[in-house]
Amino acid sequence: MKKNNKLVFFYPSIEIGGLTKNLFSLVNSLSKKNYHIYFITFKDNKNNKTLKKLYPFSRKIKILTPKYFFFTNNRYLKYFFCFLTLITFCLKNKYLIISFQSNVLSILAGILTNNKVIIRCNTAPSKYISSYIKKFFFKLVYSRADKILVTSFDFQKEIKKYFNLKSIVHRQSLDALKIKKKSKEKINFKFFQKYKYLKIINVGRLTDQKDLITLLKAFQKLIKIRKARLLMVGNGTDYEKISNFIYKNNLKDNVKIINFQTNPYKYISLSDIKVLSSKFEGNPNILLEIACLKKLIISSNCKVGPSEILQRGKGGLLYKVGDYNKLYNLLKNVKINDIYTKKKVNLTYNYVKINFKKDISDTFINILKEI
């Protein structure tokens, strides 16, 4: 038997996005390499047909859900019940806890059950230092993790800077061939058919974190001097807010929102530019996927990820978070087909090709060996 071949993954809320995609890729690969895996999540995730289709589990993975006699829609109660399920399981079984979500709860479970814990940080540490108490709390708790994983070297520097803790860079998985294949799917999308228009796309959740109002403000100025269209692909809590902005500012002829797509790459292939306007990130998957398709990326210089992926601006264009005037100027002056732009696109494409692979389980196994 392998050392640390018994793993319990803690991921209460399965949300559509890059993090979930990476996690499922990892656990499915590990299950093929004789690792015994349990997965703790909300009960409604287990039965969700959309999630099952998007992120199929290997049959070797055993899913645990809280077994309680009443149902709740309260997100925090669901986390708490999953936490109790994790503690109950770990009191009876000696499994290594792997946390991709709710790291504080996972570390606390490890302390209470005397089980070791690996956490993966997904959001820039700067989000957690708004007060001295918060900073002290997170540093204290995170210091009890046996290993801290991050997705980029900038992320690693942030963990060191704010918490003075060591971390290991463990890259996301990226199936470049699959992305390219999906991007070639035929689509009749009239919104992007006018070749003289600058075609801009944003793919991601419609939430405050993504700061899409900044993008819309820049776009509102842009269409006064340049023919352009903007496609937003995704769902989220800010849908109504964004829709109202589009309606009130008479942008409906030039801005279109479509729901989350299992294959967004066919739309990306029709676009000229991808804009990421986030307030904060954790090495965004979508930028890696866009790079595979050799599209120009304009991104906010948020923490963390975009600057490293875009090689400090050599492989794309960066602007200060929330600065819609700067974003407007970048969009106004960009030339899609000139040598300067193609050089940027190729630089990011090569960086992603070298640094990101489909299967990340072997590097993860090496980390497990150190526990």
186 assigned to some structural domain: yes
Structural domain boundaries, residue 267: 176-355
343 assigned to some structural domain: yes
107 or 1: which leads in pLDDT: 107
**Contact criterion met (CB below 8 Å) for 154 and 307:** yes
1 assigned to some structural domain: no
299 and 219, same domain (yes or no): yes
137 and 215, same domain (yes or no): no
10 assigned to some structural domain: yes
125 and 194, same domain (yes or no): no
76 assigned to some structural domain: yes
Number of domains composing the chain: 2
Q: What is the pLDDT of residue 54?
A: 73
Tell me which of 4-8, 51-55, 122-126, 155-159 is least confident.
51-55
166 and 301, same domain (yes or no): no
37 and 133, same domain (yes or no): yes
Helix 324-333 / helix 212-222 crossing angle, nearest 10 deg: 50
**Contact criterion met (CB below 8 Å) for 228 and 219:** yes
Q: What is the pLDDT of residue 14?
A: 82
Tell me, what amino acid is at 181?
Answer: K
Q: What is the pLDDT of residue 33?
A: 93
Burial of 33 (0-12, 13-18, 19+ CB in 10 A): exposed
187 and 311, same domain (yes or no): yes
- Total H helices, total E strands in the chain: 16, 13
297 and 319, same domain (yes or no): yes
Q: How confident is the model at residue 363 (pLDDT cuts 50, 70, 90)?
A: very high
Q: From CA 163, how far away is CA 52, in angstroms rounded?
A: 37
289 assigned to some structural domain: yes
130 and 231, same domain (yes or no): no
Q: Per residue in 324-354, pLDDT tens? A: 999 999 999 999 989 999 999 999 999 999 9
Q: Per residue in 29-39, pLDDT tens? A: 999 998 999 99
Q: What is the pLDDT of residue 1?
A: 40
Q: Is 60 exceeded by the pLDDT of residue 2? A: no
191 and 295, same domain (yes or no): yes
Q: Per residue in 109-133, pLDDT tens? A: 999 999 999 999 988 777 777 788 8
Strand-pairing partners, residue 299, are: 276, 318
* Cis amide linkage into residue 141, ω under 30° from 0: no
101 or 10: which leads in pLDDT: 10
234 and 342, same domain (yes or no): yes
Angle (CA) 328-334-338 rounded to 5° is 175
156 assigned to some structural domain: yes
128 or 183: which leads in pLDDT: 183
Q: Per residue in 69-111, pLDDT tens? A: 456 677 788 889 999 999 999 999 999 999 998 999 999 999 9
155 and 22, same domain (yes or no): yes
**Contact criterion met (CB below 8 Å) for 61 and 52:** no
318 and 303, same domain (yes or no): yes
63 assigned to some structural domain: yes
pTM for the complete prediction?
0.90
Burial of 128 (0-12, 13-18, 19+ CB in 10 A): middle
What CATH number does the domain containing 239 carry? 3.40.50.2000
